[in-house]
Amino acid sequence: MRHVTFPCPGSPADAAARLEAAIDARRWNAPGMDGWIRGGGAVLYYRDAARYRALFRRTFVGQFRQRAGATVLEGRFGMTFLARLLLPVWLAPAVVCVVFALVPTRLQPHASAPKVVLLLLGSLLGVLAFGRFALEWWGRPGDRDAITQAIRAALHAGDRV
């Protein structure tokens, strides 16, 4: 994951307040930047629709820091900790189904239909899990740019004359 730095006018508290104001200004059902600012850190993502937060989409996670007398927001784009934590939960059922389908049994006569069903179910779950995480790995087109533009616009909102 590549680190990104956004220059911020003013103090870290001013920069955090500008981002918070931009988040609060978005109507609940409008697309735009959403997230939270806590303890000198920011978690920001782009919301397409009002009713869902795409946990597995690109998310900016960063900290406000002082560098050479100036304030910057440093961070990276990627999955949140919760999304990475959920990876085993998504993949575990697929692994269990495939293992049970391939383990030899002592049933007489050998029942191949349940094994085939378990193998197909495990494959389907694995493909769904991979598809879900592929969205983060390769990202949706424009996610990173949309968040970057929204962060820059929010941080420099008061600079326009």
Q: Which residues pair with 58 in a beta bridge?
A: none
Task: Return the pLDDT at 140.
Answer: 64
User: Among all chains, which residue has been given the structure tokens 């007489």?
Assistant: 108
The three-class DSSP label of residue 79 is coil
Domain 3-79+139-159 listed as CATH 3.30.310.80: yes
Task: Return the pLDDT at 96.
Answer: 81
Contact 67, 52 (CB under 8 A): no
Give dist(CA 161, CA 157) in Å, integer. Answer: 10
Is beta strand 59-67 parallel, antiparallel or unpaired with respect to 70-78? antiparallel
Task: Return the pLDDT at 139.
Answer: 60
Task: Return the pLDDT at 107.
Answer: 58
Q: Find the DSSP H helices in 81-142.
A: 81-102, 112-138
Residues in the chain: 161
Contacts of 6 (CB under 8 A, 6+ apart): 62, 72, 73, 74, 151, 152, 155
Task: Return the pLDDT at 161.
Answer: 43
Mean pLDDT, each 10-residue run in order, the chain (161 residues)? 86 92 84 87 81 70 91 88 75 78 68 78 80 65 83 81 43
